[in-house]
Amino acid sequence: MTDTAESTQKIALVTGASRGIGAATALALAQAGYHLILTGRSEQHLAEVEGKIHGAGGTATIAPFDLADSDAIDRLAAAIGARWGRLDLLVLNAGQLGTLAPLPHIEVKEWNSVINLNLTANWRLVRAFDPWLRQSPTADVVALTSTVGHEPRAYWGAYAVSKAALESMIAIYGLEVEAITGIRTHVVNPGATRTAMRARAFPGEDPQTVKPPEDVAAMILAVLPR
């Protein structure tokens, strides 16, 4: 990890921050005064987002790795805890669509991959960062979901199942911590948004007919304390 943050800055971690909603959210949070920790698989793309943040007068740290590496999540949490002693905001944005197909047609390897990234990796993140979220007087956890997570839709398979489970997991965590910590949990449904995932799901759609990722970033900021 590179770069530093002022001790008074709030510290935010955004997963899947190399493009789309994650990148837009990171830029918006930096403008709001957060120091950003950017995670994603592409160091090059993360560095580009970091450059935009610095260019706008903000600060950021990049931490490129694959969320499928559960041990790497624990190592990142330990590093952030040692460096800043807390985490003020965790944005669980990274996700995988998988194949849109009847459930019996989904390959086992792909099912496991989608569930691991969209659900299990997020549980590992909550588990690893819980001690540092508790060190913040006003910590927030924001999870990105989808309409298919609470409105079942044929052929959306592992993605829909993973989002339904993610919503339940974040609600459970919120109930567990609300009475004893300053941690607040939020589930944000972006709706139709101009992203690469949306283009894969709806290849015939004109991307200009759906909202840009910056609109979702504004939605996320709207749920955070001022």
Domains of the chain, by residue range, sit at 11-221
pLDDT tens-digit map of 131-188: 999 999 999 999 999 999 999 999 999 999 999 999 999 999 999 998 888 899 999 9
Q: What CATH number was assigned to the domain covering residues 11-221? A: 3.40.50.720
pLDDT at 77 over 90: yes
Output the pLDDT for position 90.
Answer: 98
pLDDT tens-digit map of 136-151: 999 999 999 999 999 9
End-to-end CA distance of the chain: give it in Å, rounded.
28
Active site residues: 159
**Which residues are registered as beta bridge partners of 61?**
37
Number of neighbouring beta carbons within 10 Å of residue 10: 21
pLDDT at 219 over 80: yes
Output the pLDDT for position 6.
Answer: 57
Number of neighbouring beta carbons within 10 Å of residue 83: 13
pLDDT at 42 over 50: yes
Tell me if the pTM is above 0.85.
Answer: yes
Residues 6+ apart with CB under 8 A from 157: 98, 99, 100, 101, 102, 103, 106, 111, 114
Burial 181-191 (b: 16+ CB within 10 A, else e): ebbbbbbbbbe
Q: Can you list the positions of beta strands (E) in 22-160?
A: 35-40, 59-64, 89-92, 140-144
